[in-house]
């Protein structure tokens, strides 16, 4: 499905309809009618479509985080389109419906659920209960009557990260600190391992440590270093994973957009970074809402539509790193290189996909197993039995 082409055609069709309507109205005017007389439609004209979009975030919106950057992208798209938007952050799953109600009462007609944590409750109950609202469900591939599904392929960036990490590693042991609440954590981790095969036939050993809070991230990175990892790939909501790697003096790859930061000075141990740029997606959604052409759809952000991006190799990266990036990124972008192409085995050595197989988007999105070569260094996430409740404060 070509999302951009479909939305573009709908926008053109709406614009042409408007031009034809205005043209016919002009032809129907009598010669003696003034423009003021002809424009007096009393109460016959349909009211303009008014839309307002509310975002719900699971985490706090801070500057250098996965959540914070989505919020910044929301704001930029809002400014470019003049769409009114607002948000509530720090919303646990138990309060998701409360947040939907609060945003609806504040005039929101559309809700963006910005965490895969919300998927089940949106699909199973909330969207059906509030049919007057339209939902964009982040991290999903299933659309319905009032749900547009949005997912992305950060694993493409992670594949490049695995390649560069392996190329820069002396121990051939790569660590991944990952937050399982982020979209596609399993595919990201597996893609790092598969990326190492580009540099080494046998690949590198990839150790994964789960973490969410900053203190957990520090424990996870320490465990990865204890296992001999000399390059760390970050996939966390918090930018603290990069900060801690820098503090420990270990080479690392970031998963946030550092393009506006002085990475050479503040993150001198960073080899490269990968990230998702959603401005154009949000802008397209807002424009279709304004034209009243918005319909539930399925969209996957990837390199091919400029959502998934990777940086150039940074000064800390070994000579030749940029050449490797330049060689693989165009192939991932045009689709000639597939990250999850068989043969693929799991950590038990069982064949999951044959050499002739290419995993579908749905199979990748629901992946819950590790490919051969991935080892667990531990899960440092601490389950909180009674999470803090959100104040449900609406911010803009």
Q: How confident is residue 277, by pLDDT bands cut at 50, 70 and 90?
A: very high
Q: Please state the length of the chain.
A: 396
- For residue 238, pLDDT over 50 is answered with yes
- For residue 42, pLDDT over 50 is answered with no
Residue-level pLDDT at 202: 82
- For residue 228, pLDDT over 50 is answered with yes
296-327 per-residue burial string, b: 16 or more CB within 10 A, e: under 16:
bbbbbbbbebbbbbbbebbebbeeebeebbee
> Assign residue 259 a region: left if phi > 0, alpha if psi is -120 to 50, beta otherwise?
alpha
pLDDT digits (tens, 9 = 90+) for 56-105: 999 999 889 999 999 999 999 999 999 999 999 999 999 999 999 999 99
Average confidence (pLDDT) over 128-136: 96
Please report which residue ranges of the chain form alpha helices under DSSP H: 3-28, 35-38, 66-81, 96-105, 119-121, 127-129, 154-168, 185-199, 214-226, 240-248, 263-266, 279-290, 321-334, 361-365
Q: How confident is residue 385, by pLDDT bands cut at 50, 70 and 90?
A: low
CA pair distance 68, 62, nearest whole angstrom = 5
Supply the mean pLDDT for the chain.
Answer: 88
pLDDT digits (tens, 9 = 90+) for 148-182: 999 999 999 999 999 999 999 999 999 999 999 99
CA pair distance 87, 97, nearest whole angstrom = 14
Q: How confident is residue 390, by pLDDT bands cut at 50, 70 and 90?
A: confident
Residue-level pLDDT at 143: 76
**Is 28 in a helix, a strand, or coil?**
helix
DSSP label at residue 56 = E
Residue-level pLDDT at 14: 42
pLDDT digits (tens, 9 = 90+) for 306-359: 999 999 999 999 999 999 999 999 999 999 999 999 999 999 999 999 999 999
* Chain center to CA of 301: 7
CA pair distance 341, 158, nearest whole angstrom = 15
CA pair distance 292, 288, nearest whole angstrom = 6
pLDDT digits (tens, 9 = 90+) for 331-345: 999 999 999 999 999
Query: Does residue 36 or residue 44 have the better pLDDT?
Result: 44
> Pick from 98, 126, 112: which is nearest to 389 by CA?
98
Residue indicated by tokens 């909330």: 126
Q: Is beta strand 374-379 parallel, antiparallel or unpaired with respect to 205-210? A: parallel
Residue-level pLDDT at 12: 37
């Amino acid at each position: 499905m070509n999302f951009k082409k479909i939305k573009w055609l709908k926008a053109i069709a709406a614009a042409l309809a408007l031009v034809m309507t205005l043209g016919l109205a002009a032809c129907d005017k009598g010669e003696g009618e003034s423009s003021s007389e002809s424009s007096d439609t009393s109460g016959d004209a349909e009211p303009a479509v008014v839309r307002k979009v509310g975002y719900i975030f699971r985490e706090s919106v801070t500057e250098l985080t996965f959540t914070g950057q989505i919020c910044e992208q929301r704001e930029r798209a809002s400014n470019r389109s003049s769409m009114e938007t607002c948000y509530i952050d720090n919303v646990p799953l138990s309060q998701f419906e409360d947040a939907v109600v609060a945003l609806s009462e504040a005039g929101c007609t559309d809700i963006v659920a910005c965490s895969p944590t919300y998927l089940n409750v949106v699909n199973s109950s909330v969207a059906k209960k509030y049919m007057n609202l339209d939902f964009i469900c982040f991290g999903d591939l299933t659309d319905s009557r009032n749900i547009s599904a949005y997912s992305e392929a950060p694993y493409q960036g992670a594949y490049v990260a695995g390649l560069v990490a392996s190329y820069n590693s002396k121990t051939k042991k790569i660590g991944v600190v990952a937050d399982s609440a982020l979209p596609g954590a399993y595919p990201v981790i597996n893609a790092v391992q598969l990326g190492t095969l580009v540099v080494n036939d046998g690949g590198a050993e990839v150790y994964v440590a789960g973490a969410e809070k900053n203190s957990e991230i520090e424990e996870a990175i320490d465990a990865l270093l204890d296992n001999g990892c000399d390059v760390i790939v970050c996939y966390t909501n918090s930018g603290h994973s990069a900060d801690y790697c820098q503090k420990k003096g270990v080479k690392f790859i970031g998963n946030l957009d550092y393009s506006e930061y002085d990475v050479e000075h503040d993150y001198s141990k960073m080899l490269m970074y990968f990230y998702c740029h959603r401005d154009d997606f949000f802008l397209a959604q807002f424009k279709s809402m304004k034209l009243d052409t918005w319909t539930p759809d399925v969209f996957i952000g990837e390199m091919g539509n400029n959502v998934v991006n990777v940086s150039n190799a940074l000064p800390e990266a070994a000579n030749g790193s940029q050449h490797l990036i330049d060689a693989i990124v165009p192939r991932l972008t045009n689709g000639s290189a597939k990250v999850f192409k068989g043969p693929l085995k799991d950590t038990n050595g069982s064949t999951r996909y044959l050499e002739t197989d290419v995993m579908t988007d749905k199979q990748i999105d629901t992946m819950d197993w590790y490919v051969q070569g991935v080892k667990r260094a531990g899960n440092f996430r601490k389950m909180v039995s009674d999470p803090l409740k959100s104040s449900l404060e609406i911010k803009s």
